[in-house]
Structure 1
């Protein structure tokens, strides 16, 4: 089912990267948006770009770890536009490293933003969408949540939780007109590596190279995300490598994780395993 014309949308983590890209794609559809982030300067830049692209926009500072601030987004959308048609639960960060090497503080930071942020978004918006009788929710997960590659434990766990939540909601909302999709890209060019935390410099450098060297832009991922949302896909996996690796995991079972572990010991094989 296609999104309505001039959809009313809420996008978290909209100051840059994918959040900005999907906000602008919605603006091209003359969307009325509430966008949020903790980076208020970047948020203001996104808002100006939205206006230039043909959309209307309200901005609000929001730390998705705080449920009251997530609720405030919904209240602003209600006040400004009379409700919300589309929610993009996007705000996220990255932590990399081996289990036992990553400080627990970084585990908490990862889970509180990537997972609790999405939980808060769904907790706030699902009842409102049920009441209005329609809605679309895009939870930004990752192929990491499907594949569980080594040295990405905190990120894997947070994104696997987002996928599990999306699967749960898909079943709970099946008899409604509220649609839920989990976006599961592999690496694409965004800014997530700039604030990433890693247990070692080599792991951080490798992660940054995979992101900055990807042929996929945030805009291309945003286009596919909206298409998948409109088609009612639960799993939106934009890239071929993600689809192939997920298929291999389902076929190989634990053998897939053995292959991933061996790749960790061989840098060339690791780059091939995680190629973008």
Structure 2
């Protein structure tokens, strides 16, 4: 039985992971930014804002005092974002970097001393297929998720001498409430991302089952669904095809943007 801490555990993939770990008999601490939430039966709950170093320090103190240590840290909390490079604001970039990247960095920094003392532990970082393949109109999201993949690979080598393993999770779109976190200047991109999330045939439970299976095997790269795996393999082994697909997406986006601009130009009779 492992002792597991999951961030972003109140909804979406985080909640599905909490439920899956509990069902398999593990001790689970679900954390999220809100206070006073009720976790699934069998789990504990603490408020933890991944942007707060103080909250992370308090979480370390809690697991040491309550459990005597931790076996698996799941850095899962995150938001969805995206937009064209000339439309998305720098404030939006700051927000997604602080949550999706620095939130993971803070978690890794907070728990690494404990894992080193234990000479054991596993860090599981939720990235995205966007960390491996990089569609247009998603500069900020692609960038932070690629950084999480790079951070995870770095730590997998750095912490190996201490008996600590690292996994990084890279799913494609699946049904979740992640679309609710999308906010920004590029509303066309936001609407498109929400549709992809809502229309996906995959659920958070589907992804969680594959993730927990990969965690058990201590796989470094966990790609839990077929579309993400195919996209990654296409980029690796058929790069010209991958480039053509991405440029088609960009071309369609340009056509939609120009059509929208044309619709917004008043006719002569309206001027």
Q: Could you state the TM-score of these two structures normalised by the residue count of structure 2?
A: 0.88
Matched, 1:32 2:32: no
Within a 5 Å distance, the mapping from 1:35-74 to structure 2 comes to: 35-40=30-35, 44-45=37-38, 47=39, 49=40, 51=41, 55-57=42-44, 59-74=45-60
Select which of 122, 126, 139 maps to 2:125.
139
Alignment of 1:34-183 (within 5 A): 34-40=29-35, 44-45=37-38, 47=39, 49=40, 51=41, 55-57=42-44, 59-183=45-169
Superposed displacement of residue 122, structure 1: 0.6
Query: What is the aligned-residue RMSD (CA, Å)?
Result: 1.7
TM-score, normalisation: structure 1: 0.87
Structure 1 equivalent of residue 186 of structure 2: 200
Equivalences for 1:237-276 in 2 at 5 Å?
A: 237-253=223-239, 256-266=242-252
Q: Which residue of 2 aligns with 1:10?
A: 5
Q: Which residue of 2 aligns with 1:210?
A: 196
- In structure 2, distance between residues paired with 1:74 and 1:249: 39
Answer yes or no: is the 8 Å Cα contact 2:30–2:43 preserved in 1. Answer: no
Matches of 2:213 and 2:134, distance apart in 1: 26
Greater shift after overlay, 158-167 or 175-184?
Answer: 175-184
Offset at residue 199 of structure 1 (A): 3.0
Within 1, Cα distance between the matches of 2:241 and 2:87? Answer: 25
Q: Is the partner of 2:51 in helix, strand or coil?
A: coil
Shifted more, 124-133 versus 179-188: the winner is 124-133
Paired with 1:247 and 1:104, the residues of 2 have a C-alpha distance of 32
Note if 1:19 corresponds to 2:5: no
CA–CA distance in structure 2, aligned partners of residues 170 and 262 of structure 1? 36
Counterpart Cα distance in 1 of 2:43 and 2:13: 19
Is the CA contact (8 Å cut-off) linking 2:9 and 2:18 kept in structure 1? yes
User: d(CA) in 2 for partners of 1:242 and 1:198?
Assistant: 25
- Quick one: distance in 1 between partners of 2:56 and 2:132? 27
1:255 is displaced (CA, Å) by 6.2
Pick closer, same or farther for the CA change 1:207–1:134 going to 2, 3 Å: same
CA distance in 2, matches of 1:129, 1:13: 21
- Residues 80 and 207 of structure 1, relative CA distance in 2, 3 Å threshold: same
Q: Paired residues, what number? A: 254
1:139·1:166 contact (CA, 8 Å) conserved in 2? Answer: yes
Encode CA deviations 1:11-49: one digit per residue, 9 max, x unaligned: 1111111111101111112322222111235xx23x1x2
Pairwise CA distance, 1:91 = 0.6
Displacement, 1:244? 1.2
Q: Distance in 1 between matches of 2:168 and 2:142?
A: 14
Cα deviation for residue 217 of structure 1 reads 0.9
Query: Which of the pair has more CA radius of gyration?
Result: 2
2:14/2:77 contact within 8 Å kept = yes
Q: Deviation at 1:149?
A: 0.7
